[in-house]
Amino acid sequence: MRIDKFLHAMRIGTRTQVRRLIKDGHITANGEPVISGKQQINPGSDAVFLDDEQVRYQQYFYYVMNKPVGVITATSDATAKTVMDLFNTTDYRDDLFPVGRLDKDTEGVLVITNDGALSHALLAPAHHVTKVYEAEVTGEITAAQVAGFNDGITLKDGTQLQPAQAEIVEFHEIEDFTTIRIMIHEGKYHQVKRMVGTLGERVVQLRRIKFGSLSLPVGLLAGNYRALSETELTALKRDANQPVTE
């Protein structure tokens, strides 16, 4: 692998900044100064340093984002703003992608990575990775109404859903809406909205607060993201039934 590509991939800087670092003598490989960005290295075994700090190879990157309303869950779009447009230039990589999707008008926890195997495992129906949503729903919804979700309801178009868990959080009498929390184990199109529709009401605001074991981080504002902690990543791999290196 070319050393300039390696340094760029490890987020040392833009391609222009990397070339400048090499030219100014800040980069060494196995103790020898690097004089050309074309120099070939083995990222897994060669010791590359930026001045006195070693640049360690990292193949996969994992982030959690609090997706805001108004952006789409996609890597690119010709007309609409995507979740990848929210990344700063230092963290952005061409191979990053969101795991699953949240609707444009839905906010909440979203995993973004370049680890295709983990993404596939988390989304595989066989693993039943749970998703928890908090919804503001028109009108007064009762516990008796949502109790039917526990048995697995049939949507208006005949789609049979798996059992879900739902509870009433609060009824807001003055504004006439109810906050409910729903845990689902699948990901049908507009599933929560369609579930609420069977009650004769509609969702006016929807937020995903948990994806598998990953809860929406406290203090992570809508539109912001951060790298997953080792603890969070380990838990997600367990959700996906992947091997975990302790």
Domain spans, the chain? 3-54, 62-126+213-239, 130-211
DSSP bridge pairs for 65: 110, 225
Provide the pLDDT for residue 8.
87
In the block, tokens 């609090």 appear at 66
What predicted TM-score, i.e. pTM, was given to this entire model? 0.86
Contact present, 164 and 195 (Cβ < 8 Å): yes
The string of pLDDT tens digits covering residues 157-183 is 999 999 999 999 999 999 999 999 999
Res. 246: pLDDT tops 60? no
Percent of the chain's residues with pLDDT above 90: 82
In the set 46, 85, 91, 103, the catalytic residue is 103
Provide the pLDDT for residue 245.
57
Do the domains spanning 3-54 and 62-126+213-239 agree at the CATH topology level?
no
Measured CA to CA, the distance from residue 230 to residue 54 in angstroms comes to 20
The question of whether 103 is a catalytic residue gets the answer: yes
pLDDT bracket for residue 44 (50, 70, 90) = confident
User: Is 3.30.70.1560 the CATH number for 130-211?
Assistant: yes
The string of pLDDT tens digits covering residues 86-116 is 999 888 888 999 999 999 999 999 999 999 9
The topology under which CATH files domain 3-54 is 3.10.290
The topology under which CATH files domain 62-126+213-239 is Alpha-Beta Plaits (3.30.70)
For the chain, what is the largest distance between any 2 Cα atoms, rounded to a whole number of angstroms? 72
